[in-house]
Structure 1
């Protein structure tokens, strides 16, 4: 053997293939983890894992809520998001990047927490405004400066990634 290794991962439309020595691959993985693509890929893989384990459930709306709640709870646990502000950040990431929901009034975010069996944040506006002050959230232009359209900034994504690597 020549001491080389190869890693291939496909998650939906995201693919990567790494070849080289174990040290080179470790270095490439370190760089990959700093990219948004890694976070999106891990979220998709976790969601796929949950979907496959729950595939025996019926297609009713209540089982969809259970699957949705389980997926969100898994994200919270996988990323070790224990504090409520971090969980709110995780909820926005989940809604935007996993479900593709770009308009999320407070009732949508609170319902996600309820579906996961996690206590909803009390004053959601307070959490969102504090996350904006910390520059973890941004409001896209043309969104009338409303929190319901907030998306994670690069700093917000890095914060979740940092929490998940602890």
Structure 2
């Protein structure tokens, strides 16, 4: 990602990051049965040009900005070229860096600059404090190829 694009995305986060080891919200008490996060586009295996528009999908719950505690809502985080948090990390807020882009304003799509080559994309939902649930509500990881 270009630093200006990343900085803009991070500024759009819409809510403060809290210190590590925030109180975890249990998934069973938060997400309704059948809730699902998914990437609408690009499709898994697609070859695209940068900048890449990523459209987020969500089924069975709503989107609320960071800092808003409302039942059965959360906000998206886009994981770029990284894995889901480990079980030990699930009680911590997600970092905000080039691999973890926050959408705390409730956004449901973004455009990112990606270098040519293969990249993975995955969504993970976070609570009002950017903390993923345990188990996390995450999309399938997709792989795309960015061409020059």
| TM bucket, shorter chain | under 0.3
Q: TM-score normalised to the size of structure 2?
A: 0.25
Structure number with larger C-alpha Rg: 1
More strand by share: 2
Whose RCO is larger (CA < 8 A, sep 6+)? 2
Q: TM-score normalised to the size of structure 1?
A: 0.23
More helix by share: 1
